[in-house]
Amino acid sequence: MLSFQRLITINKQAETPVYLQIAHALIYHIRMGVLRRGIQLPASRELASLLGVNRNTVVAALDELQAQGWIVMKPRAGVFVADNLPEIKPQALSDNNTRYAAQTSFDLNTARMVPFPYIHKRGTSSYVLDDGLPDVRLAPMDALLREMRRLSNISAFSRHLSRGAAAGVQSLLDALTVYLNDTRGLHISPSQLMITRGAQMGIFLAAQLIIQPGDHVIVGEPGYHAANLTFQQAGGVLHPIPVDDQGLDVDAIEQLCKRIKVRLLYVVPHHHYPTSVMLSPERRMRLLELAAAYKFAVIEDDYDYDYHYLSSPVMPMASLDHSGSVIYIGTLNKTLAPAIRMGFMVAPSNLIDAAAGLRRVIDYQGDALMEGALATLFTDGAVTRHVNKVVRVYQERRDHFCSLLSSLDVSFKIPEGGMAVWTRFNNAPVAEVAAKAAKIGLHMSDGSLFNHNATRLGFASLDFEEQEAAIALLAKALS
Amino acid sequence: MLSFQRLITINKQAETPVYLQIAHALIYHIRMGVLRRGIQLPASRELASLLGVNRNTVVAALDELQAQGWIVMKPRAGVFVADNLPEIKPQALSDNNTRYAAQTSFDLNTARMVPFPYIHKRGTSSYVLDDGLPDVRLAPMDALLREMRRLSNISAFSRHLSRGAAAGVQSLLDALTVYLNDTRGLHISPSQLMITRGAQMGIFLAAQLIIQPGDHVIVGEPGYHAANLTFQQAGGVLHPIPVDDQGLDVDAIEQLCKRIKVRLLYVVPHHHYPTSVMLSPERRMRLLELAAAYKFAVIEDDYDYDYHYLSSPVMPMASLDHSGSVIYIGTLNKTLAPAIRMGFMVAPSNLIDAAAGLRRVIDYQGDALMEGALATLFTDGAVTRHVNKVVRVYQERRDHFCSLLSSLDVSFKIPEGGMAVWTRFNNAPVAEVAAKAAKIGLHMSDGSLFNHNATRLGFASLDFEEQEAAIALLAKALS
C-alpha cells in the first residue's frame, strides 16, 4: 500500500478548497505513474482517516476525479484509476517542484528574436536622466480615470466593452480626427486614422505592410534604434544617412535614390531622435518631392509634436504632402504617461484597413474604455489644457537644465523642442561616466545605442530640485 | 498683388489661435507655390487691415513663420518668403480639401496582409448571439478603476507609469504566479510568465518565435480561424486534424508525426473552439507523450479556464507537462471584458525573454496602471470572488439557453463548459438563417468560419429575458 499521507499534502490555509487539493494531488501522481492505471484506491472513509479530513471532502475529490475522467467508480467493487490512460513509467518525485524550472531553454526561431535593448533599467538609482520622458506626476490621470469610471457605468457604452473594432472606438477616431485637422493642419476623415498602442506599434504595422525582404530603407545616423530594429525585423536593408544641424542630409538621400530603389524613409522631422534637431522647411519640401519622384513611402514619426518651445509646433510633413507618400505616426504616451499606451497612425485608408487587419493578429483590439474616455478628454478640451500647461513647465525645465549642464565639461545645443538634450562628452567616455554615475545613485543611458560618445539627457521628468541633485551627481561622475 | 483676403480664411471660433491660422495658411500657400520663394509679403500693418485682425496678431504670425524658417524679415526692406526653398509650380487650390482624401490606395506588401474576419459586426441589431463572450455588465470594473485611481495617486507607483518592462509590472507577475500555481496546479516562478494583451498576442508571439517558414503545424478541424491565420502568417503549413466528441483525434496526430516533422500543435483542451468539447484525460496524456517523443511544441490555449460547469475546471496540460513542450496561454478578457486587454503566457524562461523582446517591437509594453490594479484584485481575492459569482450565473444561463434552443430545429450537445453552444442547423443553411435573423434584429455568426453548417451561439452575455427574445427571433428566422 502506498503511503497516501506522504503523497498528499494539504494546506488548509490555501485558497484552493481542500477537496481540490486532494484531487490535484491524485491527478499529479496518476500522471507521474505513481498511481498506475487500473489500480484500486482506498475507500473514501479510509482515505479520509489517513488524511485527517472529513469523509465528505474525500467524496467530493473523488467525484471531481470521476467527472474529469481520471478514475472510475465501480459499484460494489471500489474506486480505480481509469485503465484507458496510457501506461507511464514512474518518475522520481523530486521532479515535482523543479520540472518547470528545469526547462531553461526552448528551441527558438532565432531569425525572429529581436535584440531589443532595455534603456530604462533604473534599478535602485535615486535619480534618472531618462531618454526624454514626460513627468507622469503632471499627467491628467484623474480626469482620465474619472471618465473611464463614468463610461463604465453607462449601459450604452457597455457594448464597446464587448468585442470592438481593431482601428479603435469610433468616438475617439472622430474626436482625434477633429483634433489632428485642427492642430496639425491635416485634412483627414476618420477612415484615414487608426488608434494604436503608441508610436512603436504604428512603426511596426507600417513596416510589416510596406517592406518586402530586401527592400531598402533610409534612416538617420545617429538614429532611433527601435525603429531600425523594426525595419530589419521586417526584412529591410538599412541605409543610414547623416544628420546635421538641419536634420537628415537630403542631398545624400537624392544621391542614394539615383543608385538604388528606396522603398521607405523614416524621419522624425520635428525633433530628430536622438539629436533633437528640427528638419528645416527647405529639406522637408525637398524630401516630399524626392518621395513623389522616386516613389518611396515616408514614415513621419512625430512622437513629441506638442513639445516645442522656440515657436508653436511646426506642422508635420503630412500636412504638406499631396502625393500620398506620408504615413504620419504619433503617440499620446508623451502627453499622458509612457505606460498609458495610446497612439495613432494617419495614412491612406487602404493602408489603415490593412493595418487594422494585421493588428487583429497581434493584439486583437485596443482598450475600449480608455479610448472612450480619451475621446471625452479631447472633445472637452482637457488634452489641450494639459498640453498648454506642461509645455510651459517643460520649457522652464529645459532652460534650468541647460544652465546647470553648461557648468559641466560637455557640449550641447539648447534644443528647440523635445524633452532631452543631446549631450556630447568632451573628455570622458560616456560609458565610463554612466558606470560611475550608477554607483553614486544616478541612472543615465551609457550612449551605446548612439556611437557618438554622446547621449540623451531628459529634463522634462525632473523638477528644478531634482535636476540640481542629478546634475550634481553627474558632475561628480565626470570629475 | 495677390488677394490675401481670399487666400486666408479666419475662423475666430476655432480652437487654433488666429495668428496660427494665418501662419498655417501662409505656409500652405508657400508650399503650394502660390507664394513663390523670394517674393515680398505685405507689411504687417497692411496685412492686418486686409484680414480685419489686430496688427499684433499678424506680427505673431510672421514671428512664427520666421522661427520656422519659412520667411525672412530683412531690416528696412520688408518680409520675404525664404529664397532657399525649392521652386514649386503652382497647384490648383481645389486640391486643398481633397488631397488626402484622394489617396485611396497605397502600394502594400500583400504577403503581410491578413484577411482577418470581423465576426462581431453587430450593426444596429437589438440582440446578439455572440461567439461566446462574457457579460460585461457583471465585470468588476468598479473595483478595477478604483484601484487604478488609488495607484495613480501613490507616488511610489508613478515610476511604473514611466517606461516599464515588456513582460509586465512585477507586482502582477508575482500575484499571477501565485494564482496560477494555486488554481492551475502549475509550479512556475515569475520568470516563466509574461503579461500580454490577451490570448491572441500570446499566440502571435509564440508563433513568431517557434515557426520557421515551411514548418508543419497541427490544428483542429473545425478550429480557431484566428490562430490558423496567425500560424500561416508566420509561415506555417497547417495540418487540420479531425475533432470528435473527445477532442483532437490523437491517433491521427500520431500517424502524421510518423510521416512528417511536426513543429507545433495548437490545442484548446478545456473547451475546444468552436465545438466546446473537452479533450479527454487519456488524450491529454498521449498528446504530451507524442510531443515529447516527436519533439514538437504545444500551444495550450486555455482562454476560458474558469468557465466549467460539470466539475471544477480541469487542470491544464501545462500542469502535467514535464518535457517542457507546453506553452500555456490564457486571457483575462473573458474574466473582465473583451475590451479590457489583459492576458498571459507561461513558458520556459528563454522563450519568455525572447517574447518580451519581440513584444517591444510590436507595442513596447503593457498598460502599467491597469496591470498594477489587477495585481491588487488578484491578491485581495476580488478575481476569485468574481469568477465564483459569474460561473454560477453562466451555468444557469447555459441551462436556460439550452432548454430554449431545444425547441428549435437544430442539434447540439449541452457544453460542459465555455460560453457558447456549438449548434448544427438540421434543415436550413446557417448563412441564410443568419441573413434572415439580421433583418429582424438578431445578429449571429453566419458559420462561414466553420464550414459545418453550424455556428457558435453565445449564451453568457444575455440574461434570461434577452435569451428568450433572441431565441424567439432565431425561431422566426428558421421558420
Which ipTM did the prediction report? 0.83
CA distance A440 to chain B (A): 19
Task: Give the pLDDT mean for A46-61.
Answer: 89
Phi-psi region at B214: left, alpha or beta (left = phi > 0; alpha = psi -120 to 50): left
Among the partner residues A69, A141, A321, nearest to B152 by beta-carbon distance: A141
- pLDDT, tens digit, 9 for 90 and up, residues A187-243: 889 999 999 999 999 999 999 999 988 999 999 999 999 999 999 989 999 999 999
CA distance A385 to chain B (A): 11
Contact A360 B297 (CB under 8 A): no
Closest residue in chain B to residue A82, using alpha carbons only: B282
- Per-residue pLDDT tens digits of chain B, which is 479 residues long: 567 777 788 888 776 788 888 888 888 788 777 788 888 888 888 889 888 899 989 998 888 888 778 888 888 888 998 887 776 554 433 333 333 333 345 667 776 776 665 545 556 678 889 989 999 888 888 889 999 988 888 877 777 777 678 889 989 999 999 999 888 888 889 999 999 999 999 999 999 999 988 999 999 999 999 999 999 989 999 999 999 999 999 999 999 999 999 999 999 999 999 999 999 988 999 999 999 999 999 999 999 888 988 777 788 999 888 778 899 999 988 888 888 889 999 998 888 988 998 998 888 888 888 999 999 999 988 998 999 899 999 999 999 999 999 999 999 999 999 999 999 999 999 999 999 999 999 999 899 888 899 999 999 999 999 999 999 999 999 99
Report the 10 Å Cβ neighbour count for B150: 14
Contact A209 B16 (CB under 8 A): no
Can you give the pLDDT at residue B277? 92
Among the partner residues B64, B348, B362, nearest to A106 by beta-carbon distance: B348
**B179 alpha carbon, distance to own chain's centre:** 24
Contact B285 A86 (CB under 8 A): yes
Among the partner residues A111, A137, A368, nearest to B158 by beta-carbon distance: A137
DSSP bridge partners of B230: none
Q: Which residues of chain B are within 8 Å of residue A208 when distances are taken between CB atoms?
A: 109, 112
Q: CA-to-CA distance for B219 and B450, rounded, in angstroms? A: 13
Q: CA-to-CA distance for B26 and A88, rounded, in angstroms? A: 81
Task: Give the pLDDT mean for A85-91.
Answer: 57
- pLDDT, tens digit, 9 for 90 and up, residues A301-349: 999 888 988 777 788 999 888 778 899 999 988 888 888 889 999 998 8
Q: Which residues of chain A are within 8 Å of residue B163 when distances are taken between CB atoms?
A: 119-120, 130-131, 133, 338-339
Contact B362 A362 (CB under 8 A): yes
Q: Which residues of chain A are within 8 Å of residue B9 when distances are taken between CB atoms?
A: none
Beta-strand runs (E) in B138-221: 193-196, 216-221
Can you give the pLDDT at residue B268? 96
CA distance B290 to chain A (A): 11
Closest residue in chain A to residue B91, using alpha carbons only: A322
Q: Are A414 and A308 in contact (CB under 8 A)?
A: no
Q: Which residues of chain B are within 8 Å of residue A14 when distances are taken between CB atoms?
A: 182
Q: Which of A264, A458, A382, A98 has its CA nearest to residue B322?
A: A98
Best of A136, A144, A146 to disrupt the B interface (most B CBs within 10 Å) is A136
CA distance B432 to chain A (A): 24
Can you give the pLDDT at residue B320? 82
Q: Which residues of chain B are within 8 Å of residue A189 when distances are taken between CB atoms?
A: 101
Contact A185 B118 (CB under 8 A): no
Task: Give the pLDDT mean for A264-283.
Answer: 93
Contact A100 B188 (CB under 8 A): yes
Best of A89, A108, A336 to disrupt the B interface (most B CBs within 10 Å) is A108
Q: B19-51 burial string, b = 16+ CB within 10 Å, else e?
A: bbbbbbbbbbbbbbebbebeeebbebeebbebb
Contact A113 B354 (CB under 8 A): yes
- State chain A's mean pLDDT as an integer: 87
- At B347, is the secondary structure helix, strand, or coil? coil
Can you give the pLDDT at residue B34? 79
pLDDT at residue A105 greater than cutoff 60: no
Q: Which residues of chain A are within 8 Å of residue B462 when distances are taken between CB atoms?
A: none
* Cα separation values, A202 from A343, B115, B216, Å: 8, 19, 31
pLDDT at residue A407 greater than cutoff 80: yes
Among the partner residues B153, B281, B461, nearest to A162 by beta-carbon distance: B461
What number of C-beta contacts closer than 8 Å exist between A and B? Answer: 375
Among the partner residues A101, A149, A360, nearest to B189 by beta-carbon distance: A101
Contact A315 B162 (CB under 8 A): no
Among the partner residues A102, A119, A358, nearest to B114 by beta-carbon distance: A358
Q: Are B186 and A101 in contact (CB under 8 A)?
A: no
Q: Which residues of chain B are within 8 Å of residue A140 when distances are taken between CB atoms?
A: none
pLDDT at residue A93 greater than cutoff 70: no
Contact A361 B102 (CB under 8 A): no
CA distance A141 to chain B (A): 7
Can you give the pLDDT at residue A104? 41
Element (H, E) at A469: helix A464-478
Q: Which residues of chain B are within 8 Å of residue A347 when distances are taken between CB atoms?
A: 106
* Cα separation values, A19 from A8, A81, B384, Å: 11, 17, 17
CA distance A427 to chain B (A): 30
Contact A341 B324 (CB under 8 A): no
Can you give the pLDDT at residue B119? 47
Q: CA-to-CA distance for A114 and A137, rounded, in angstroms? A: 32
Q: Are A359 and A422 in contact (CB under 8 A)?
A: no
* Cα separation values, A388 from A370, A403, A448, A468, Å: 22, 23, 34, 25
Report the 10 Å Cβ neighbour count for B451: 9
Q: Are B206 and B234 in contact (CB under 8 A)?
A: no
Q: CA-to-CA distance for A83 and A68, rounded, in angstroms? A: 14
Contact A152 B145 (CB under 8 A): yes
Can you give the pLDDT at residue A121? 57
Contact B341 A365 (CB under 8 A): yes
CA distance A115 to chain B (A): 7
Sign of CA dihedral B153, B157, B158, B161: negative
Among the partner residues B153, B182, B314, nearest to A14 by beta-carbon distance: B182
Q: Which residues of chain A are within 8 Å of residue B198 when distances are taken between CB atoms?
A: 363-364
Can you give the pLDDT at residue A211? 92
Among the partner residues B109, B161, B165, nearest to A211 by beta-carbon distance: B109
Q: CA-to-CA distance for B176 and B195, rounded, in angstroms? A: 9
Contact A282 B357 (CB under 8 A): no
CA distance B476 to chain A (A): 25
CA distance B93 to chain A (A): 12
Q: Which residues of chain B are within 8 Å of residue A233 when distances are taken between CB atoms?
A: 361
Can you give the pLDDT at residue B471? 97
Contact A64 B100 (CB under 8 A): no
Closest residue in chain A to residue B152, using alpha carbons only: A141
Among the partner residues A114, A361, A367, nearest to B340 by beta-carbon distance: A367
Can you give the pLDDT at residue A88? 55
For chain A, give the percent of residues with pLDDT over 70: 92
Q: CA-to-CA distance for A290 and A270, rounded, in angstroms? A: 19
Can you give the pLDDT at residue A96? 36
The grid cell for B14 is: 476655432
pLDDT class of A273 with cuts at 50, 70, 90: very high
- At A411, is the secondary structure helix, strand, or coil? strand
Contact A200 B149 (CB under 8 A): no
**Which tops the pLDDT comparison, B328 or A68?**
B328
Contact A320 B149 (CB under 8 A): no
Residues 6+ apart with CB under 8 A from B9: B21, B25
